[in-house]
Amino acid sequence: MSTTGEVPVVTAPGFEEFVAARGAALVRLARGLLRDPDAAEDVVQDVLARALLRWSRVSAADDPAAYVNRMVVNACTSFWRRAARRERPSDVLPERGAPDETARLADRDALLAGLRRLPVKQRTVLALRHFEGWDDERIADLMDVSPGTVRSNAHRGLKALRAALEG
């Protein structure tokens, strides 16, 4: 152990390339699953730190991207379960932008709020399908369910989301 206070640098061949290629998509996935964009970035950072430490196992998987996506989904689920015990500031007001930008942000916020009200499986299916562009078979493999279950969760989730956005 170094007495100079230096932090050892952990490197893994292929990890930096993976993060460069998939990092933004992982953050989009987490933002689709969590309420707070900052929390989503924190979850992805934590997941990537754990993936780096286990990179030999992660990179040996059949599909390292699916492996890490599953880590993100699990971490978001854990984060969401602990959310009731966290404090959230309520006196912070968003800054106003141009009218069209404000409307676009309001639509996005309404969509994300509707997603957050969905059950975890429906929210996960919709986030993977629409934010990641995954097909039903790949989502089914990741969630360890049948493709029919994925389709029924997507159908129910979209129906509930439409009702929430209309009402």
Q: What is the pLDDT of residues 71-99, one digit of tens each?
A: 999 998 888 777 555 555 555 555 555 66
How many CB atoms neighbour CB 98 within 10 A? 8
1 pLDDT more than 50: no
* Among the ranges given (4-8, 60-64, 65-69, 105-109), the one the predictor scored with the smallest mean pLDDT: 4-8
Alpha-carbon distance values, 47 to 11, 42, 74, 87, 164 (Å) = 16, 9, 10, 23, 31
13 pLDDT more than 70: yes
Contacts of 3 (CB under 8 A, 6+ apart): none
53 pLDDT more than 60: yes
Cut 0.85: pTM above it: no
Dihedrals phi, psi of 71, to nearest 5 degrees? -60, -40
Report pLDDT for 68. Answer: 95
The angle subtended at Cα 132 by Cα 128 and Cα 134, nearest 5°, is 70
* Rg of the chain over all Cα atoms, to the nearest angstrom: 18
Question: Please, what is the average pLDDT of the chain?
Answer: 84
pLDDT tier, 70 (very low <50, low <70, confident <90, very high otherwise): very high
Report pLDDT for 91. Answer: 55
Instruction: Give the start-to-end residue ranges of the domains of the chain.
Output: 9-84, 98-167
Alpha-carbon distance values, 17 to 14, 61, 65, 85 (Å) = 5, 16, 12, 36
CATH T-level assignment (fold) for domain 98-167: Arc Repressor Mutant, subunit A (1.10.10)
Dump strand ranges (E) for the chain.
none
